[in-house]
C-alpha cells in the first residue's frame, strides 16, 4: 500500500496537469482510486507484488543545480486491454494529448487573456452591458401638446422674421397692406425708417412702430375656428355683413381671455360667395391658410346643391364631364343624387371638387342646364361641418381637427 502511494506521488510531480485531483487517465478513472484498486488486488492474491517498482534519484533543487542532465524515470500504472494493471515508463497517449492541449491553451491565454476564461469573460461583458443600460440617461418626459404650445408661444425665444410677416401676425393689417405701409415709410425699426418688407426683425428684441404706435412684443396665439356661414355674409373686410363681424363679441372680451396680448387679426381661409352657406374656416395663421387653399394641396371640398326642377341621368353625366372656368377645364371628383326629403320636392345633389375656383360648383350645375336654388358646403378635407353647429355660430378647432383639414377624406 505504501509502495502504490509513493508511485502516485511520483507521477503527480511529473507534470502540473496531474496535480489536480480531478485528472483522469485513459482508463476513465481518477488516479488515486486506480492505484488503490491496484494495491488492493495485489494484496488479495498474494503478499508479494506482481512487479517491482524502482524510483530514480530525487531531482536536485534549482538553487543547487540549474537543470538535471537526464529526466527521471517515472512509473505509470495503466490498465491494459485484459483489464489488469501494468506498469510503464512512457506516458500514455491520452495523457500526452491532454498535456499538449493544456500547453496550447496556455500559449493562447498569454496572447489574448480574454480567451483564457471564455465563460467569465462573457459574464463580465454581460454585467457591463447591464450596468451601461442602468447608467444610461433617462429620456426627458414627453409633454402634452398644450404644454408644448404654451412653451413655444410664451417661453421659447422667437427667431427673426420678415417685417411684413411680423406686422401681419401682430394684427396690424394683412401682409399685402403691411407691405404698402412699409413702402410708404410709416414703419420704423429701432428708431429708423424701414422701407424693405424683407428686413428680418425680432419682435421680442426690436422696437417697431407703425404710424407712431408701438407694436407689442407679444404675438397673439394661433387661432382656428369653424364657422357655419349664413347666406348674405361676405368674406371681405369693411362691410356691414362681413363674416368677421360675427366674431365681434368674442374679440370684445379678448382682454379678459388674454390680458396683455394684442387682439388677433382674423380672416377667412378661402372664400364663399354671398349666396353660399356652410362651412368656412376663420384663422389668423397665414401659412395654414395658404396651405389649405393652394391648388397643389388638392384638398377636396364637398357641397350639397339644391336645384329647381327634375334631375335626370343626362344632367348628372353633364355635371360629371366638367366645364371650363377661366379657360381651365374643371372636372368634379364626385356627383351623386341624394335621397329626397319629405319637407321639400326639390332635388339635392352631392358634388365634390378639388380645384376650388370661383363659383365652380354653380358653373358645373348651370352648364348642365339646371338652376341652383341653394348651395351649402359641408366638408373640407376630412373635417365635416358639425351637425349641431347653428347658423352664424362658430367653434374653436382642436389639433386633430386642424390636421383633418389638411387631408382628404379616406
Q: What is the CATH number of the domain that holds 278?
A: 3.30.2350.10
Position 409 scores a pLDDT of 58
Same-domain status, 71 and 190: no
- The answer on 190 and 247 residing in a single domain is no
Instruction: Enter the DSSP assignment of 115.
Output: G
**Distance between CA atoms of 403 and 382, rounded to whole angstroms?**
9
- Quote the pLDDT of residue 237: 73
Full domain range(s) for residue 228? 224-405
- Lookup: cell for 15: 507534470
Last residue of a domain, one of 177, 192, 214: 214
Question: Residue 303 domain-assigned?
Answer: yes
Asked whether residue 164 falls in the same domain as residue 19, the answer is: no
Exposed e or buried b for every residue in 249-263, given b needs 16+ CB within 10 A?
ebeeeeeeeeeebbe
| Count of domains for the chain | 3
Residues 365 and 399 in one domain: yes
163 and 259 assigned to the same domain:
no
Residue with cell 500547453: 103
Per residue in 278-324, pLDDT (tens digit) is: 999 999 988 888 888 887 888 999 999 999 888 999 999 999 999 98
pLDDT in tens, 265-286: 899 998 899 999 999 999 998 8
Query: Is the same domain home to 28 and 109?
Result: yes
On whether both 204 and 237 belong to a single domain, the answer is no
**How far does CA 290 lie from the centroid of its chain?**
27
Give pLDDT, residue 28: 43
Nearest Cα residue to 121 out of 133, 108, 104: 108
Q: Are 301 and 372 found together in one domain?
A: yes
Q: Tell me whether residue 171 is in a domain.
A: yes
**Cβ partners under 8 Å of residue 266, min gap 6:** 223, 225, 244, 247, 251, 282, 283, 284
Same domain (yes/no): 111, 172: no
Active site residues: 273
CA torsion 6-7-13-14 (nearest 10°) is: 160
**For the whole model, what pTM was predicted?**
0.59
What pLDDT is stored for residue 62 in this prediction? Answer: 46
Q: What is the mean pLDDT, run by run of 10 residues, along the chain of 410 residues? A: 45 44 42 43 46 51 48 65 74 77 80 55 54 53 71 67 87 86 92 91 89 86 94 79 90 86 89 93 90 86 92 92 88 91 87 87 93 94 93 93 77
The reply to whether 133 falls in a domain is no
pLDDT of residue 119: 53
Q: Assess whether 103 and 76 both reside in one domain.
A: yes
CATH number for the domain that contains residue 155: 3.10.290.10
The radius of gyration computed from the CA coordinates of the chain, to the nearest angstrom, equals 49
Alpha-carbon torsion 306, 307, 309, 312, what sign? Answer: negative
Predicted pLDDT of residue 99: 82
Amino acid at each position: 500500500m505504501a509502495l502504490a502511494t509513493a508511485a502516485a506521488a511520483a507521477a503527480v510531480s511529473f507534470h502540473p496537469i496531474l496535480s489536480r485531483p480531478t485528472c483522469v487517465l485513459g482508463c476513465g478513472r481518477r488516479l488515486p482510486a486506480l492505484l488503490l484498486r491496484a494495491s488492493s488486488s495485489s494484496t488479495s492474491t498474494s503478499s508479494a507484488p506482481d512487479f517491482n517498482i524502482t524510483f530514480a534519484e530525487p531531482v536536485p533543487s534549482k538553487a543547487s543545480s540549474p537543470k538535471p542532465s537526464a529526466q527521471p524515470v517515472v512509473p505509470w500504472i495503466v490498465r491494459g486491454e485484459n483489464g489488469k494493471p501494468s506498469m510503464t515508463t512512457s506516458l500514455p497517449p491520452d495523457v500526452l494529448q491532454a498535456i499538449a492541449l493544456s500547453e496550447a491553451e496556455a500559449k493562447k491565454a498569454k496572447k489574448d487573456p480574454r480567451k483564457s476564461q471564455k465563460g467569465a469573460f462573457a459574464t463580465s461583458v454581460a454585467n457591463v452591458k447591464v450596468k451601461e443600460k442602468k447608467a444610461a440617461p433617462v429620456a426627458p418626459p414627453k409633454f402634452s401638446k398644450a404644454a408644448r404650445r404654451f412653451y413655444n408661444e410664451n417661453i421659447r425665444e422667437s427667431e427673426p422674421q420678415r417685417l411684413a410677416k411680423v406686422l401681419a401676425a401682430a394684427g396690424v393689417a394683412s401682409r399685402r397692406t403691411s407691405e404698402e405701409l412699409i413702402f410708404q415709410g410709416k414703419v420704423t425699426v429701432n428708431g429708423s425708417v424701414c422701407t424693405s418688407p424683407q428686413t428680418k426683425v425680432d419682435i421680442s428684441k426690436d422696437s417697431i412702430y407703425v404710424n407712431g404706435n408701438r407694436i407689442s412684443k407679444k404675438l397673439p396665439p394661433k387661432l382656428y375656428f369653424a364657422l357655419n356661414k349664413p347666406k348674405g355674409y361676405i368674406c371681405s373686410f369693411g362691410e356691414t355683413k362681413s363674416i368677421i363681424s360675427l366674431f365681434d363679441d368674442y374679440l370684445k372680451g379678448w382682454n379678459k381671455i388674454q390680458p396683455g396680448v394684442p387682439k388677433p387679426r382674423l380672416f377667412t381661409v378661402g372664400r364663399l360667395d354671398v349666396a353660399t352657406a356652410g362651412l368656412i374656416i376663420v384663422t389668423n395663421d397665414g401659412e395654414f391658410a395658404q396651405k389649405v387653399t393652394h391648388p397643389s394641396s388638392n384638398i377636396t371640398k364637398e357641397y350639397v346643391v339644391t336645384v329647381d326642377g327634375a334631375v335626370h341621368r343626362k344632367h348628372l353625366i353633364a355635371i360629371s364631364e366638367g366645364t371650363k372656368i377661366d379657360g381651365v377645364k374643371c372636372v368634379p371628383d364626385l356627383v351623386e343624387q341624394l335621397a329626397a326629403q319629405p319637407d321639400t320636392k326639390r332635388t339635392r345633389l352631392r358634388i365634390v371638387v378639388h380645384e376650388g375656383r370661383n363659383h365652380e360648383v354653380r358653373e358645373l350645375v348651370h352648364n348642365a342646364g339646371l338652376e341652383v336654388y341653394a348651395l351649402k358646403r359641408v366638408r373640407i378635407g376630412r373635417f365635416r361641418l358639425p351637425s349641431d353647429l347653428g347658423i352664424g355660430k362658430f367653434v374653436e378647432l382642436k389639433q386633430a381637427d386642424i390636421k383633418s383639414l389638411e387631408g382628404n377624406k379616406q
